[in-house]
Amino acid sequence: MVLNSKGQVTIPAHLRAKHNLHEGDEVEAVEVGGALRIVRAEGAGTRGQRLASAARRAGGRAGAGGGILRCMASNPSARPGSAAGAGSAAALGRGATLITVAPTGAEAGKAAVPALPASLGELVTTAKECQAAGAAVIHVHIRDAEARPTLDPVRLRETVAALRESTSLVVQLSTGGAVTDTFGDRLAVLDAAPDACSLTCGTVNFGDEVFANPWPFIRELYARTRELGVVPEFELFDLGHVATLHRLLDEEGTPAGGRVHCDLVMGVPGGMPGDAATLVAAVSALPAGATWSATGIGRTSLPVMFGALAAGGHLRVGMEDTLSYARGRPVTGNAELVERAAELARLAQRPPMSAADARTFLGISQR
C-alpha cells in the first residue's frame, strides 16, 4: 500500500472482504506495541455485533447461524506467540484439527457408568485407543481405588508417567479437580510435572454446585505454571471469563510455551449455552491471535462440534463431557467419541493433528 499526499491508504479489496469492511465504515489508525494498525473506530459496533447483524440480514435462525459461521471461518485465529514459531503453529491450526479427549471427569460414577475409565489400567488403555482414533491431547482427572475423584499426588505422578510410557499424547492434568477440592490441592497438581494443565478463568455455577476460581487463585496458579514451564489451556465457561483472561495476560504476561490456547466449555448449566451465536461472541472476544477449542456438554456436544469446525476451531470430546452418543444410545467408550470427531474433522478437510504437531501448535517441548 502507498501513502498518498493526504496521508491516506487504500485497503486492498481482499482484506476489506476478509474483515467485513464496507464503504462508509469508520476506521482509525492506532499504535500498538510500536506497530501501526488500522482498526474499526470505537462506537462502530463490536465484531460480534456486526456478524450477528449480518446474519440477521441473511434471515432465519438457521441462516443466521450459517452466516455467523461463514464470517468466522473467513478469519481463523493464529497465536502470535514467539515470532519464530508462530507461523508454523498457525499453519498447523489452519490445516489440521487438534482433538483433545477428556475420558473421565469428576462427576459421573463408575457404578452408574461402567464404561467410564477409572483405574490407571483403564485410563492407559483408553489413552492408547483414543490416540489411535485421532486424539493428540488427553485431559486427565484421576480416581482413587474406590473410583472416587482424587488429587492424590502419588497417583497423579504415576498417571503422568504411565501415560507417557504408553502413548505420545500431550498429558494435560485438570487443576479443577472436583468442586470440593481445596485450592492448595489444586495448585499441587502441577508438582506431577504434566505437559499441560487446565486453568479456569473464573467462578461458575456448576449445576447445583459452585466451581470456585477467584482472581487470587487464578493469578497464583498462572504464576506457578510459568515457574514450572507447564503450558496452560485457559478454560472459559462464560463470557466474563474471557475478560479475566485478558486481565491475566495484561497483568502477568505470556504463558509458558508462548501460545494462548483456550477451551470454550459450553452447555454447563450455569455457564454459557452451547449454540452458534454464543460461540461467535466468545471467539470474537478472545485475545488477538488466540487459538481455541470448544467443548459441548451433554446434548450440545454435536452442535458445538459442528460450529467449532465451521469457525476454524478445534475440538474436545470425551465421557467427561457427554455420556450419550445419540438419543437413547449411551456411549460405549471414549474412542468412539474421538472417532466421530476425527471423521468430522476429515470432512471439514482439517484432519486430526498428530501428537507431535500438537506440541508445536501448543508450544510444548517435544519428548
Beta strands in 314-361 (DSSP E): 314-317, 324-326, 329-330
What's the pLDDT score for residue 17?
Answer: 66
**CATH number, domain 1-44, options 3.30.420, 2.10.260, 1.10.760, 1.10.533:** 2.10.260
Q: Where are the domains of the chain?
A: 1-44, 46-75, 83-362
Number of other CB atoms surrounding residue 73 within 10 Å: 14
Number of other CB atoms surrounding residue 191 within 10 Å: 13
pLDDT of 129-168, one tens digit each?
999 999 999 999 999 999 999 999 999 999 999 999 999 9
Instruction: Name the grid cell of 286.
Output: 478472545
Is the distance from CB of 282 to CB of 272 less than 8 angstroms?
Answer: yes
State the amino acid at position 150 in one-letter form: T
pLDDT of 194-230, one tens digit each?
999 999 999 999 888 999 999 999 999 999 999 999 9
Is the distance from CB of 174 to CB of 139 less than 8 angstroms?
Answer: yes
pLDDT of 314-327, one tens digit each?
999 999 999 999 99
With 0-12 / 13-18 / 19 or more C-beta atoms within 10 angstroms meaning exposed / middle / buried, residue 142 is: buried
What's the pLDDT score for residue 78?
Answer: 37
Please state whether beta strands 170-173 and 329-330 pair in parallel, antiparallel, or not at all (unpaired): unpaired
pLDDT of 253-292, one tens digit each?
999 999 999 999 999 999 999 999 999 999 999 999 999 9
What's the pLDDT score for residue 69?
Answer: 46
Task: Provide the sign of the torsion angle of the four alpha carbons 103, 295, 246, 75, taken in this order.
Answer: positive
User: In Å, how far are 111, 116, 318, 352 from 142, measured between CA atoms?
Assistant: 16, 11, 14, 26
Mean pLDDT estimate for the chain: 86
pTM summary value = 0.79
Is the distance from CB of 344 to CB of 133 less than 8 angstroms?
Answer: no
pLDDT of 72-91, one tens digit each?
443 444 334 444 456 677 78
**CATH number, domain 83-362, options 3.20.20.70, 3.10.450.40, 3.40.50.150, 1.10.3720.10:** 3.20.20.70
Q: How confident is the model at residue 36 (pLDDT cuts 50, 70, 90)?
A: low
